[in-house]
Structure 1
């Protein structure tokens, strides 16, 4: 299978974006680079940059492996990505507004009604309601891969509670500490102002009832959540309050948080709690993570929730397969960034094809994440395929399938020097009065040779992403 190496041509010549880095790398002492790699690990350990691994009692908290070789993207490449990403997030917001109001895209026959109204992440409670500023997806993470033809594809949209931005920021901070001379030599676009941009973007969507400087709170499920480090990090960096559901209550028609001086009104909630647990009076009555009565205050226009409840319908993997139609319907243009070809197993012909070709496909759960609940056909055993076929037949609408992509590689530092590993990219997008796209994003890397799974929970790591200012 042909693989696109982002640093080297097939004749081992260095591609243009990496030339300055390669010149620098050739003059480094390998032992000192290995020491720098250990220094980076110590920085992460001292800072407490960890993630939780569920179902693993022996290692519930792990460091995310960090590779010190940056992933470098030219300014020209990034401009193309920016155009495609902006087009995509505009379409996603328009789609959400339509689905929760007139449902014109269904009337036009571009999406089947059943895939919306029978979808567990579609919230009837949001029908007819427009959030402050008419913004549904305030923070979006778009997962992008590069294929053997040197073409970018969108692998997944993350429109609910996308994570990873804190690792992007810490990766850059660590690289600045370890290799300041590189940043003097190579013009890299900054990502450090993301927390300030996030705060500014959220303030732009404050509810109409907010007449002064809004109070922002980051709502976290608590310290046992896999992304708790990020929740605390962003709250601190934004100058926002970090709160749990038990810190909050509805008083006199407002959401308030407990302080040493009594309860204080909260205007904007950057929630990192799933829909089902946001409000026990509206959704799961057993939830202790949310705020009783939150949805009533929200619908009264007295608080902003970012991202809005019900945004999961926009990043559902079954909906993903309709994204080219969604983009064209709401923007009037073909998608700049293409989708990966997708078979919807809910359709009988597609299901038959997937079962016959399961050895060569990647099969994913519609609501799955983190690399769990998926089958990578070429790397699977006969027993695993048979078990997955049984799942497909039992509940076909729970799965989609895609071809096994020859996704691009970037080099990592090993004991024997540079070695290629597969990567993806998650740029982060802020939406309010305008679309703000962080230059670069989080590059996730499959550290195991030959592996295509980049998720940290499945053995992957991260690296700093450099967008050149050319």
Structure 2
């Protein structure tokens, strides 16, 4: 019988299933053998079961005004324990350094005085938030949740592609992918020892509670969403449900005497921690866009007074600016006195005239990125671009050099993906999630592996036609009990600071997004 991986076409990229000798990597052998016993009909049947499960659970994302079932590829991505230890250490190191950088930028500014980064890096960054200067989070944490995007190059080296420190998304899909895969391929989990991911929401909730203002013993935590029209609304609702906290919109909150309250059936309830999924610009109309109706007027003043914690902190964008990314290796050495454990992709600062001239001379070999871009938008991949696209990006770079960086093309590693009744190589990346509770940066096992489902594409974002894979971190010590994969349960949070429903309401219509 012909196996599903017989005749698998190897390309020039590093492949996560097969080595250069054409044999499966040692940690992939068991999965390879299991896949070879499947028929095309088996794969189709499991694919149909996956689709039914996602539709029934409403696992969707919104794109161009339409709801789509989030694409989950049936073939998992496996990471051996020894390699995961490197990822854990490298991601945690990076988050610690960026935490120190943010505290410095919105505080003493020593990193500028010592010449590690130029002042212009901060003052010209769209992510720098002047109203956040001087705000000190109760436990010193500004990056409660980070998503650090990693890619593997042709030599097999894992590199950091970018940092996501504002409102990183994808955690819900990690949990849902695992739940679905455990149903679709139960036998594979019996053969492999895989670290669970069901504790993801619990870890985040614990970090949020620990970040509450001083003296609060039973903090009230809420998740602030822009509303049902937001592309990530499924995730907002999912995480609020799993953490057992209220999902609120801006119209549900109001401030009085620099204290934040939530309207509830029983009256007004004081709020101690806001896990926000609203961008900085729309978060507080007093300080940012006055026309915003998805935020809450005065909430930033309440944070400055120490009466509420905002997670992630306002102004984190200055640390995940793609130009700041080029300085992170120096920031790690400056703040931690350590060498970076995970290298960057080779990147060029186009605000330097000499560097810019060199890059413009070989645009067709480089990847050009807007420093404020997200979701794969605005990226020009030189070897795949037309002459017209290269000419257009050249003009944009010359017009505003600070707004762009250039990177050497990294041919992302490939992994087998289901395309119809075949398994074919497709490029992937990895977004591990790190949770900082003020005492420890915990890198949650696995993360979101994203896959570019279009042939030859290096853009893995779902908005650009990408999907995801379940990510299995292998271990010789399977976890039991509450850490094991299954439906987590958290106690309902105690009502604290409730007062009769009176006073100003700030009722406003919800902004459509």
1:419 corresponds to: 424
Aligned residues of 1:144 and 1:424 also touching (Cα < 8 A)? yes
Q: What whole-Å deviation, never above 9, does each CA across 1:149-206 have from its counterpart, x for those lacking one?
A: 1111000000000001111111000001111111111000011111111111111111
2:271 corresponds to: 266
Supply the distance in 1 between the matched residues of 2:61 and 2:146 (Cα, whole angstroms). Answer: 20
Of the candidates 456, 459, 462, which is equivalent to residue 453 of structure 1? Answer: 459
Q: What whole-Å deviation, never above 9, does each CA across 1:368-416 have from its counterpart, x for those lacking one?
A: 0000011011111111111111111111111001011121111112335
Q: Does 1:157 align with 2:163?
A: yes
Of the candidates 294, 297, 322, which is equivalent to residue 289 of structure 1? Answer: 294
- Of residues 119-128 and 259-268 in structure 1, the stretch that sits farther from structure 2 once superposed is 119-128
2:67 corresponds to: 61
Supply the distance in 2 between the matched residues of 1:3 and 1:117 (Cα, whole angstroms). Answer: 39
Supply the distance in 1 between the matched residues of 2:362 and 2:177 (Cα, whole angstroms). Answer: 39
Aligned residues of 2:126 and 2:372 also touching (Cα < 8 A)? no
Supply the distance in 1 between the matched residues of 2:21 and 2:99 (Cα, whole angstroms). Answer: 44
- Of residues 230-239 and 428-437 in structure 1, the stretch that sits farther from structure 2 once superposed is 428-437
Cα deviation, residue 456, structure 1: 0.4
- Of residues 199-208 and 235-244 in structure 1, the stretch that sits farther from structure 2 once superposed is 199-208
Aligned residues of 1:129 and 1:299 also touching (Cα < 8 A)? yes
Of the candidates 197, 200, 221, which is equivalent to residue 203 of structure 2? Answer: 197
Cα deviation, residue 454, structure 1: 0.3
Give the aligned length. 465
SS in 2 for 1:338: coil
SS in 2 for 1:339: coil
SS in 1 for 2:193: coil
Of the candidates 303, 308, 312, which is equivalent to residue 303 of structure 1? Answer: 308
Q: What whole-Å deviation, never above 9, does each CA across 1:430-468 have from its counterpart, x for those lacking one?
A: 001211111110000011111101000001100100000
- Of residues 330-339 and 24-33 in structure 1, the stretch that sits farther from structure 2 once superposed is 24-33
2:445 corresponds to: 439
1:217 corresponds to: 222
Q: Following superposition of structure 1 onto structure 2, how do residues 48-447 of structure 1 map, counting pairs within 5 Å?
A: 48-53=58-63, 56=64, 60-210=66-216, 212-432=217-437, 433-447=439-453
1:46 corresponds to: 56
Unaligned runs of 5+ in 1: none
TM-score relative to the length of structure 2? 0.89
Cα deviation, residue 118, structure 1: 2.4
Supply the distance in 2 between the matched residues of 1:62 and 1:345 (Cα, whole angstroms). Answer: 37
SS in 2 for 1:284: coil
2:20 corresponds to: 10
Cα deviation, residue 64, structure 1: 2.0
RMSD: 1.2
Cα deviation, residue 110, structure 1: 1.0
Supply the distance in 2 between the matched residues of 1:333 and 1:49 (Cα, whole angstroms). Answer: 41
Cα deviation, residue 29, structure 1: 2.3
Q: What whole-Å deviation, never above 9, does each CA across 1:229-272 have from its counterpart, x for those lacking one?
A: 10010000000100000111013431111111111111110000
Q: What whole-Å deviation, never above 9, does each CA across 1:294-348 have from its counterpart, x for those lacking one?
A: 0111111110100011111110001001111011101101111001111111111
Aligned residues of 1:209 and 1:301 also touching (Cα < 8 A)? no
Aligned residues of 2:43 and 2:421 also touching (Cα < 8 A)? no
SS in 1 for 2:294: coil
Supply the distance in 1 between the matched residues of 2:26 and 2:312 (Cα, whole angstroms). Answer: 39
SS in 1 for 2:139: helix
Supply the distance in 2 between the matched residues of 1:15 and 1:282 (Cα, whole angstroms). Answer: 54
Unaligned runs of 5+ in 2: 1-10, 477-513
